[in-house]
Amino acid sequence: GAVVSQHPSRVICKSGTSVKIECRSLDFQATTMFWYRQFPKQSLMLMATSNEGSKATYEQGVEKDKFLINHASLTLSTLTVTSAHPEDSSFYICSARDADRGTNEAFFGQGTRLTVV
Amino acid sequence: RKEVEQDPGPFNVPEGATVAFNCTYSNSASQSFFWYRQDCRKEPKLLMSVYSSGNEDGRFTAQLNRASQYISLLIRDSKLSDSATYLCAVNIFKNDKLIFGTGTRLQVFP
């Protein structure tokens, strides 16, 4: 299947600092990428849809000024958690579709486990 | 009502058993349906897409019931390695966002 690479896989940061997470499509171009967050024993909750060359579309209740998304190229989207707090500790996962495949399958990055101390 | 709902389980079954999961969705306009498998602390991986006519892949069978707005996953001859969380996912438009259920935890024991 198509490959989506996400890093870092794990990060620990101090409260008040910012953390950037990268999501890359390695062997296809992704005009749209999706960012999810998953708390322990809960499902993946969509945070935002990242569109190449334009502003991201955020889901209700997700602060766009806190979770900055940039999708500057067809293969890279970044999520920056600004002024992180302990309640932001979670598993963040990106996904993308390969439009050329003709299927609707979404491929996921490996996820980033963020711990804010 | 949640957009996509699943019984969180856990389902504890012995090796060799057959187990079935259901997932209901609220939007009748939904077009695409999937089952993902997620292992602990890992990203979800596609298990199978769900087609209108139903589809089978080895020990796994997926069904779609549009009238009742649910999809199902049947696992036959369960293996220890099937232990995981099974997430259903739905989207309304092609290439649109995927909405996930809460996942159903399966534990297969010897």
pLDDT tens digit sequence for A59-95: 999 999 999 999 988 899 999 999 999 999 999 999 9
Closest CB from B44, B45, B94 relative to A104? B94
Question: What is the predicted pLDDT for the residue at A42?
Answer: 86
Structure tokens at B5: 């709902």
CA pair distance B103, A45, nearest whole angstrom:
12
Closest CB from A106, A109, A110 relative to B98? A106
- Name the band, by pLDDT with cuts 50, 70 and 90, for residue B95: low
To the nearest whole angstrom, how far is the Cα of B90 from the nearest Cα of chain A? Answer: 11
Question: What is the predicted pLDDT for the residue at A30?
Answer: 86
- Closest-CA residue in chain A for B103? A43
- Closest-CA residue in chain B for A9? B42
To the nearest whole angstrom, how far is the Cα of B109 from the nearest Cα of chain A? Answer: 20
Q: Are A68 and A79 in contact (CB under 8 A)?
A: yes
- Closest-CA residue in chain A for B48? A105
Instruction: Compare B94 and B100 and report the one with higher pLDDT.
Output: B100
Query: A1: number of CA atoms within 13 Å, CB side?
Result: 18
Instruction: Please give the helix or strand (H or E) that residue B107 lies within, else none.
Output: strand B104-109
Residue A107: pLDDT over 80: yes
Residue B94: pLDDT over 90: no
Question: What is the predicted pLDDT for the residue at B77?
Answer: 98
- Name the band, by pLDDT with cuts 50, 70 and 90, for residue A15: very high
Q: Do A43 and B103 touch (CB under 8 A)?
A: yes
Q: Do B95 and A105 touch (CB under 8 A)?
A: no
- Name the band, by pLDDT with cuts 50, 70 and 90, for residue A1: low
pLDDT tens-digit readout, A19-59 = 999 999 998 888 889 999 999 888 899 999 998 888 899 99
CA pair distance B5, B25, nearest whole angstrom:
6
Average pLDDT over every residue of B69-87: 97
Q: How many CB pairs under 8 A join A and B?
A: 49
Question: What is the predicted pLDDT for the residue at A105?
Answer: 77
Q: Partners of A90 in the beta sheet?
A: A114
Q: Is any Cβ of chain B less than 8 angstroms from the Cβ of A93?
A: yes
Q: Do B49 and A103 touch (CB under 8 A)?
A: yes
Average pLDDT over every residue of B77-93: 94
Residues on chain B touching A107 (C-beta within 8 angstroms) = 46
Residues on chain B touching A44 (C-beta within 8 angstroms) = 44, 87, 100
Omega before residue A8 within 30° of 0, cis: yes
Residues on chain B touching A42 (C-beta within 8 angstroms) = 102
